[in-house]
């Protein structure tokens, strides 16, 4: 509530839409793309874009929380900075709980946050506690089941390049990830963290499920939390889904994400010290309202921002679009 009072007294500098250095739903990557877009304009919903500038971080975050909490349905915040995502989530949950839109009693649940560790063939890139999920295992030679998982127990950083893991069956296995090339290439590494979850919380599903027609990145609202930490949720498209205790670990808070990739929402809020076009790559054109919150003077420097955003697109690779959407190791709420 204190943040809301701060926000109510703010007088931000509102930047006209004509002054925007890019269209958030159609960030251009080159002059040729711009020419093509003018020749064949895409068919999208009409959207409104506004920009508000704040001199202080506290004021900017308070304004985002106020505007999001006023109408949270099918809304999402894009915040490239992990610390801002964490703080926004904390403030929004507290506000919505005060409004009665989220249950006051929360439960601690374990979630798996995917880690991008660089070269997975190098044992030194792993840490004790990492969970490795294997799509293709090696059950005969190493006791690693297909579609199974194991937890890293120790790492040999010497020339042996050896990982020692403990499987779900309790067996310890040592292997060189560079030698098990197929298994390593088709595996994912996660770190276990804790989240406080309540009925009414917004979540983002971080793993696909063909049987339930769930796509990684889908948003949902929690409707039930079982004693075994299974979750009943309703997707934004209205379908109800059930997540067993294992699948329920592949979730994250759905209030703030790091980029617009795969984001489908009616209202999009973007906040950051400086915002450029890369934050909006992949956002779906269903958004009807886009609000940008920046620090004082950042959006007025149009030429510099336009140049930097073009440079980002020219250098962008698929890996830069697949950054971890979680808070990262050691940043749980």
The reply to whether 333 falls in a domain is: no
Distances (CA, A) of 3 to 63, 95, 327: 8, 9, 22
Whole-angstrom Cα distance, residue 303 to residue 313?
16
Pick the residue with more confidence: 287 or 204?
Answer: 204
pLDDT digits (tens, 9 = 90+) for 267-299: 889 998 877 666 666 566 566 788 889 885 544
Q: Which domain holds residue 50?
A: 2-105+253-321
* pTM for this entry: 0.74
Residue 247 belongs to a domain: no
Helix axes 57-70, 82-99, angle to 10 degrees: 40
Domain boundary among 191, 216, 236: 191
Domain with 11 in it: what CATH number?
Answer: 3.40.50
Over residues 211-254, the pLDDT tens digits come to 999 999 899 999 999 999 999 999 999 999 999 999 999 999 99
Q: Are residues 11 and 98 in the same domain?
A: yes
Both 25 and 88 in one domain: the answer is: yes
Total domains present in the chain: 2
For residues 79 and 155, membership in a common domain is answered with no
Q: What is the CATH number of the domain that holds 159?
A: 2.30.30.30
Residues 25, 69 within the same domain? yes
Shared-domain flag, residues 116 and 173:
yes
**75 in the same domain as 116:** no
Rounded Cα gap, residues 280 and 24, in angstroms? 6
Does residue 327 sit within a domain? no
In a domain, 279, yes or no: yes
Instruction: Report the C-alpha gap between 312 and 333 in whole angstroms.
Output: 31
Residue 218 lies in a domain: no
The confidence band for 160, taking pLDDT boundaries of 50, 70 and 90, is confident
DSSP letter (8 states) at residue 16: P
Q: Is residue 184 part of a domain?
A: yes
């Amino acid at each position: 509530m204190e943040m809301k009072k701060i926000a109510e007294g703010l007088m931000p500098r509102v930047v006209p839409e004509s002054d925007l250095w890019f269209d958030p739903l159609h960030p251009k990557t080159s002059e040729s793309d711009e020419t093509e877009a003018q020749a064949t304009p895409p068919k999208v919903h009409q959207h409104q874009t506004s920009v508000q500038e704040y001199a202080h971080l506290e004021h900017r975050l308070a304004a985002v929380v106020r505007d999001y909490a006023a109408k949270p349905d099918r809304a999402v915040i894009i915040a490239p900075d992990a610390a801002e995502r964490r703080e926004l989530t904390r403030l929004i949950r507290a506000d919505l709980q005060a409004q009665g839109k989220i249950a006051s009693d929360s439960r601690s649940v374990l979630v798996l946050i995917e880690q991008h560790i660089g070269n997975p063939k190098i044992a030194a890139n792993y840490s004790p506690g990492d969970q490795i999920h294997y799509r293709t295992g090696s059950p005969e030679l190493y006791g690693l089941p297909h579609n199974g998982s194991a937890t890293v127990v120790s790492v040999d950083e010497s020339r042996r390049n050896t990982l020692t893991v403990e499987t779900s069956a309790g067996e310890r296995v040592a292997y060189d990830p560079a030698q098990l090339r197929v298994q390593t290439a088709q595996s994912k590494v996660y770190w276990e963290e804790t989240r406080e979850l309540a009925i009414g919380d917004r979540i983002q599903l971080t793993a696909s499920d063909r049987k339930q027609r769930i796509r990684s990145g889908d948003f949902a609202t929690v409707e039930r939390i079982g004693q075994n930490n299974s979750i009943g949720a309703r997707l934004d498209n209205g379908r109800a889904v059930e997540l067993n205790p294992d699948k329920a670990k592949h979730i994250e808070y759905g209030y703030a994400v790091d980029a617009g990739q795969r984001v489908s929402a009616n209202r999009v809020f973007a906040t950051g010290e400086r915002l450029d076009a890369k934050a909006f790559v992949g956002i779906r054109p269903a958004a009807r309202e886009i609000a940008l919150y920046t620090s004082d003077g950042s959006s007025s420097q149009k030429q510099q921002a336009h140049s930097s955003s073009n440079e980002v697109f020219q250098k962008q690779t698929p890996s830069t679009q697949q950054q971890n959407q979680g808070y990262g190791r050691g940043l749980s709420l």
